[in-house]
Chain A
Amino acid sequence: MNAVITARGLRKHYKNTIALDDVDFTIPSGRIVGLIGPNGAGKTTALKAILGLTPFEGELHVLGLDPRTQRNKLMEQVCFIADVAVLPRWMKVHDAIDFVEAVHPRFDRAKCEALLKRTKLTSNQRVKQMSKGMIVQLHLALVMAIDARLLVLDEPTLGLDILYRKEFYQRLLEDYFDDDKTIIVTTHQVEEIEHILTDLMFIRDGKIVLDTDMEAMGDRFVEVMVSVDRADAARALRPIDERQVFGKSIFLFDGADKTVLEGLGETRRPSVSDLFVATMKGTYK
């Protein structure tokens, strides 16, 4: 296993809040990891630490480099899209391409231009004349033309309409992602990325509360739809969540015996968003 990121005892605190509390995790190569957490859980801080944008305590290696001291070298292999609209507003499309081509050793101009051909963007257009969706298209084209090993996406589709959002992830999957690349993505629109993730990390109050690949998640968590008369039997198995739909109860179990659950009703793999809601209950209280 070729680890892209290893974190041991990662800590970061701001004046009176702890953003990362002794976090350990490992991300192997060729994965798409969803880093999901409520607002203020420490997602962005974790990403900033990985990108060397913020000081932290503990041990963190990204592609074998320390982001604190070897940031310049690291950024040749790492790409980063924060939320939308961080491209400088004065820039024209061709300025952006010229500049990135000049400063980035792994940028492929032809690929970038080919990607932009599929959009409505013209080479003389300025960022300030573009819609949010178009800015993201430009940014994505620039980033996808860079042969990087790690791509970090922090709420990349914030404020985009559904067409742009779908296109964004489709492009990434079809034209970018392969076994040598790793993508870390944070977003609140969990449903939209659920099907592309290979791994899932839940973060809450600076701690990783769930770190699993999607297959293992399906084995561990089971949702059962139970009719009212059997609800008490289901509750006895200590579900982590319960909700009512059309007169039936849906229970979410963590690590319960599957054969027993199948006896209670129809079972299925829970959606990431249901799992998220169940895991994060009481966060804002």
Chain B
Amino acid sequence: MKTFLWLVKREFWEHRGGFLWAPVITGGVFLLLNLMGIITAEVIGARHGISFGASGELRNVMSQMDAGDMSKVGMALDVAMYSSMAIITVVLGFVVFFYCLGALYDDRRDRSILFWKSLPISDTSTVLSKVVSATVLAPTIAVAVGILAGMAQLVMVAITLSFHGINVWQLLTLAHPFRVMGNLLGYIPVYVLWALPSAGWLLLCSAWARTKPFLWAVVLPVASGLLISWFGIMGLFNLPTSWFWREVVVRGLFSVFPGGSFTATNGTAHTLTINGESGLDVLNLGHSWAAIGTLNLWIGVAVGAALIAGAIWFRRWSDDS
């Protein structure tokens, strides 16, 4: 166990740039752009004499709101909090994708695998430490950064509005920062399970390819998709060709991008629909965890486990360094 934690730590040392600095910089840039946007808006507003705040109109608007409207304000603030996370999420997807592709390939290319293999560490631990780094460590750091950026964003919006006569604390009590945090953290286990087939496939290519793992990882599924489309093979199973593209190519390659699991419960992600009580709790756990009940997710887990086992086998026996 101690060894395993150090293996994960080692991954963090090596990939600090992707795991930590990429989300931090993304969050920072996002906040900066927002701040600049707000300042620009304020300046333009002041120059044109649009100062609804001073006349107290906005305050009046607030005071005239009923409970339902207030909760919508709260939700809007929550969405402001999520917005920074959304950008970080996209970055996280790329980081995890390329991390997995390189994880078992880069050290073979520079031959430092011979150093790692000279230590009493099993190949199973090595590969699993990379799975954990990709699917648990990276998203956890991203969520932590996302939460901090979200809080900063929330405070920024609240302070701006307070210049226009609205009470900061009143606004902050309308938002649900802890619920947002819980939702984001609570989504990580779903992400781990959902990302497994992708992580497994990318790691397998990473462990197996002699050169250019990216090409293999992408070309193999895409080429088979094209073949299947041309020859209409899916017809034999009474499935449309689009099934293969969606469930094998896209699922296999892009499940490391967070949020994909929402497609398991409905055709498209509809995380921002505002209907009924739970609709106001954006990304609530009941919604995001619904994927756990789908066969799609568990088949993915099984396939992912098999692919990871394959990656371990190649890591143990591939002999090209």
List residues of chain A with CB under 8 Å of any chain B CB: 48, 51, 53-55, 71-73, 75-76, 78-82, 85-91, 95, 99-100, 102-105, 139
A103 touches B119 (CB 8 A): yes
CA distance in complex: A90, B317 (Å): 25
A19 to chain B, nearest CB (A): 11
CA distance in complex: A6, B14 (Å): 39
CA distance in complex: A278, B227 (Å): 59
CA distance in complex: A76, B112 (Å): 19
Residue from the list B2, B9, B319 in contact with A53, Cβ < 8 A: B319
Tell me if B110 is interfacial: C-beta within 8 Å of chain A: yes
Instruction: Report if A88-B120 is in contact (Cβ < 8 Å); known contacts: A54-B319, A99-B10, A103-B3.
Output: no
Tell me if B121 is interfacial: C-beta within 8 Å of chain A: yes
B6 to chain A, nearest CB (A): 4
Residue from the list B2, B9, B111, B122 in contact with A86, Cβ < 8 A: B111
A99 touches B118 (CB 8 A): no
A181 to chain B, nearest CB (A): 16
Top 10 A-B pairs ranked by shortest CB distance? Answer: A80-B118, A75-B120, A88-B112, A102-B6, A82-B114, A54-B319, A76-B120, A86-B114, A72-B122, A86-B111
- The secondary-structure label for the interface of chain B is helix
A79 touches B2 (CB 8 A): no
A53 touches B117 (CB 8 A): yes
Other 4 A-B pairs with CB < 8 A, given A51-B117, A91-B13, A102-B2: A55-B317, A89-B110, A99-B10, A102-B6
CA distance in complex: A229, B27 (Å): 89
Residue from the list A54, A95, A104 in contact with B119, Cβ < 8 A: A104
Tell me if B115 is interfacial: C-beta within 8 Å of chain A: yes
B120 touches A95 (CB 8 A): no
B111 to chain A, nearest CB (A): 5
CA distance in complex: A90, B120 (Å): 21
B319 touches A48 (CB 8 A): yes
Tell me if B57 is interfacial: C-beta within 8 Å of chain A: no
Instruction: Report if A89-B118 is in contact (Cβ < 8 Å); known contacts: A99-B6, A99-B10, A102-B3.
Output: no
Sorting the interface of chain B by its residue count into under 10, 10 to 19, 20 to 34 or 35 or more gives 20 to 34
Scoring A48, A75, A79 by chain B CB atoms within 10 A of each residue's CB, the highest score goes to A75
Q: Mark B152-194, 1 if CB is under 8 A from A, else 0.
A: 0000000000000000000000000000000000000000000
List residues of chain B with CB under 8 Å of any chain A CB: 2-3, 6-7, 9-10, 13-14, 107, 110-122, 317, 319
A87 touches B115 (CB 8 A): yes
Q: Which residues of A contact B13 (CB under 8 A)?
A: 90-91, 95
A130 to chain B, nearest CB (A): 14
Instruction: Report if A75-B112 is in contact (Cβ < 8 Å); known contacts: A90-B13, A102-B6.
Output: no
CA distance in complex: A89, B115 (Å): 11
A88 touches B110 (CB 8 A): yes
A36 to chain B, nearest CB (A): 21
With both beta carbons as reference points, the residue of chain A lying nearest to B107 in the complex is identified as A88
A90 touches B319 (CB 8 A): no
CA distance in complex: A104, B10 (Å): 14
Residue from the list A54, A81, A104 in contact with B120, Cβ < 8 A: A104
Q: Which residues of A contact B111 (CB under 8 A)?
A: 82, 85-86
Residue from the list A54, A87, A90, A103 in contact with B121, Cβ < 8 A: A103
Residue from the list A54, A78, A88, A95 in contact with B115, Cβ < 8 A: A88
B120 touches A105 (CB 8 A): yes
A134 to chain B, nearest CB (A): 15
With both beta carbons as reference points, the residue of chain B lying nearest to A80 in the complex is identified as B118
B116 to chain A, nearest CB (A): 8
Q: Which residues of A contact B113 (CB under 8 A)?
A: 86
A79 touches B120 (CB 8 A): no
A72 touches B14 (CB 8 A): no
Q: Which residues of B contact A89 (CB under 8 A)?
A: 110, 112
A72 touches B121 (CB 8 A): yes
Q: Which residues of B contact A71 (CB under 8 A)?
A: 122
CA distance in complex: A102, B6 (Å): 7
Q: Which residues of B contact A75 (CB under 8 A)?
A: 117-121
With both beta carbons as reference points, the residue of chain A lying nearest to B112 in the complex is identified as A88
CA distance in complex: A263, B115 (Å): 54
B115 touches A73 (CB 8 A): no
CA distance in complex: A81, B115 (Å): 8
B14 touches A88 (CB 8 A): yes
Q: Which residues of A contact B9 (CB under 8 A)?
A: 99
CA distance in complex: A102, B120 (Å): 11
CA distance in complex: A91, B7 (Å): 13
CA distance in complex: A33, B43 (Å): 80
CA distance in complex: A79, B114 (Å): 11
Q: Which residues of B contact A86 (CB under 8 A)?
A: 110-115
Q: Which residues of A contact B107 (CB under 8 A)?
A: 88
Q: Which residues of B contact A105 (CB under 8 A)?
A: 120
Q: Which residues of B contact A95 (CB under 8 A)?
A: 10, 13
A103 touches B6 (CB 8 A): yes
